[in-house]
Amino acid sequence: MKSIADIKAIRDKMQARIVNRDNSDAELETRIVVGMATCGIAAGARPVFNEFVDLVAAKGMHNVKVTRTGCLGMCKLEPIVEIFVPGEEKVTYVKVDPDKAKEIFTRHIVGGQVVSEYLIGEQ
Amino acid sequence: MREIALNILDIAENSVKAKATLVEITVTAENNVLTVTITDNGVGMSKDFLERVTDPFTTTRTTRKVGMGIPLFKDAAEMTGGSFGIESEPGRGTRVTAKFVLDSIDRAPLGDIADTAVTLLAPGIDFVWVYTVDKRSFTFDTREIKAELGDIPIDSPEIISFLRNLLKENIESINGGITI
Ligand SMILES: Nc1ncnc2c1ncn2[C@@H]1O[C@H](COP(=O)(O)OP(=O)(O)OP(=O)(O)O)[C@@H](O)[C@H]1O
Ligand SMILES: [Mg+2]
């Protein structure tokens, strides 16, 4: 069974990577933000969050963060995911589910192309 | 909500919004009662506000006029023949307690505590989860994890993934084959 003691190994692995990386990297962090107020949670934000986390972790992308936020003010369109890529305008995806999350990850986060089908107004 | 764990997430989100730095969540299944408490050291609520807080139209939200988190949790507990309560003190914090009758047919499943807990991980706030079934107990304390992590942020995707698995394994072992 995994325990806190295992964290040391992961930490050492991650630290080795950070040492090799440029300081300016922090500003070049992509953020995937999932809306998690009551409306988002009820609509299925939690599996979307965890899907993104696993995809980023599996690829070992150290410059991508997945975070949650409160109400994004459009309850009917939840789960809502905002993507912040440094130097680019914010992109808002609506009615996201784990399958769409996979697609957004592959095409947008990895591939750099906005997935226009899942944008607000397209739903 | 389809899972009590989602109600818990929603109530914990209130603690985050209330600027808590420490949130303790206990989930205890014992003698046909499932007791959930969420205790924070956030801004708290005035006596007057607290009296109205289970009303859906009580909210400090600006994005919409209803607040559903507390009313939904209250209903979910009371529907099973259980109970619900909130204590709060301005400047000190808040405790929400919900009791569910375990064998009630109106009780939602507890759901996935591991999936839930990891969505809350963040650098500026600590969580303590105490999960107990029939006196078998597991404690997950982000302060201990952060001490081990040093300068690696607890919300790095690789860490979140790892901690979710750690939680899942430990909760399964506490459950001892039953589903709550
Ligand atoms: N732990 C807490 N500390 C301080 N204030 C709280 C706490 N929990 C709830 N409140 C107050 O009670 C209000 C109602 O909470 P409730 O969860 O029912 O709705 P909400 O958070 O406003 O919206 P929603 O949950 O639907 O996203 C909140 O807006 C907040 O002002
Ligand atoms: Mg709420």
Q: How far is the CA of A39 from the centre of ligand 1 (A)?
A: 13
Beta strands at B136-141 and B33-40: parallel, antiparallel or unpaired: unpaired
pLDDT in tens, B115-154: 999 999 999 999 999 999 999 999 999 999 999 999 899 9
pLDDT at B35: 98
- C-alpha neighbours within 13 Å on the C-beta side of residue B25: 27
pLDDT tens string B105-123: 999 999 999 999 999 999 9
Q: What is the CATH number of the domain that holds B133?
A: 3.30.565
With CB atoms and an 8 Å threshold, state whether B10 touches A62: no
Q: What pLDDT, in 10s, does the model give residues B36-79?
A: 999 999 999 999 999 999 888 888 877 777 778 999 999 999 99
Helices (H) then strands (E): counts for chain A: 4, 4
Separation CA A16–CA A39 (nearest Å)? 40
Strands B126-133 and B22-30: parallel
Nearest ligand 1 atom to alpha carbon B67: 19
pLDDT at res. B68: 87
Q: How far is A123 from chain B (nearest CA, A)?
A: 21
Tokens of B178: 């039953």
Contact B162 A72 (CB under 8 A): no
Judged against a pLDDT cut of 80, whether residue A101 lies above it is answered with yes
The answer to whether B45 touches B88, Cβ cutoff 8 Å, is: yes
pLDDT of A18 = 65
B5 within 8 A of B110, measured Cβ to Cβ = yes
CA B48 to chain A, closest CA, distance in angstroms equals 24
Is residue B180 one of the residues assigned to a domain? no
- Give domain A4-122's CATH number out of 3.40.50.2300, 1.10.20.60, 3.40.30.10, 3.40.710.10: 3.40.30.10
Quote the tokens at residue A80.
């809502």
B140, B160, B167, B173: best to mutate for the A interface, most A CBs within 10 A? B160
Question: Is 80 exceeded by the pLDDT of residue A84?
Answer: yes
Q: Which ranges of B18-156 would DSSP assign to H, the alpha helix?
A: 47-52, 69-78, 113-118, 142-149
Contact criterion met (CB < 8 Å) for A57 and B165: no
The whole-number average pLDDT for the span B90-119 is: 97
For ligand 1, whether the C-beta of B68 sits within 6 Å is yes
Tell me the pLDDT tens digit for each residue of A11-66.
Answer: 888 887 766 555 555 568 999 999 998 889 999 999 999 999 999 999 999 899 99
Average pLDDT, chain B: 95
Question: Is-contact A36 A69, C-beta < 8 A?
Answer: yes
CA-nearest of A70, A117, A113 to A93 is A117
Name the residue at shortest CA distance from atom 31 of ligand 1. B60
Distance to chain B for A20, nearest Cα, Å: 14
pLDDT at position A27 is 63
Statement: residue B171 has pLDDT above 70: yes
Does B166 contact A46 at a Cβ distance shorter than 8 Å?
no
Distance separating alpha carbons of residues B31 and A109, to the nearest angstrom = 48
Q: In this complex, which of B69, B155, B170 lies closest to A65 when CB atoms are compared?
A: B155
Q: Which residue has the higher pLDDT, A21 or B98?
A: B98
Closest residue, chain B, to A17 (C-alpha): B152
Domain count, chain B: 1
Q: Shortest CA distance to B152 belongs to which of A76, A107, A8? A: A8
Say if residues B82 and B101 touch (Cβ distance below 8 Å). Answer: yes
Q: Which domain holds residue B54?
A: 4-175
Burial class (CB in 10 A: 0-12, 13-18, 19+), B176: exposed
Interface test with A, best of B62, B73, B119 (most A CBs within 10 A): B119
pLDDT (0 to 100) of residue A28: 82
Percent of chain A with pLDDT over 70: 90
Q: How far apart are CA B95 and CA B23, in angstroms?
A: 10
* Residue A75 in this model has a pLDDT that exceeds 60: yes
Q: Which of residues 9-68 of A touch B (CB under 8 A)?
A: 10-11, 14-15, 18, 34, 36-39, 41-42, 46-47, 49-50, 52-54, 56-58, 60-62, 64-68
Give domain status of residue B12, yes or no: yes
Identify the pLDDT of residue A67: 95
Q: What is the pLDDT of residue B173?
A: 96
Burial zone of A24 (CB within 10 Å; 0-12 exposed, 13-18 middle, 19+ buried): exposed
Which has the higher per-residue pLDDT, A8 or A101?
Answer: A101
Report the pLDDT value the prediction gives residue B93, as an integer from 0 to 100: 98
Q: Supply the pLDDT for residue A57.
A: 95
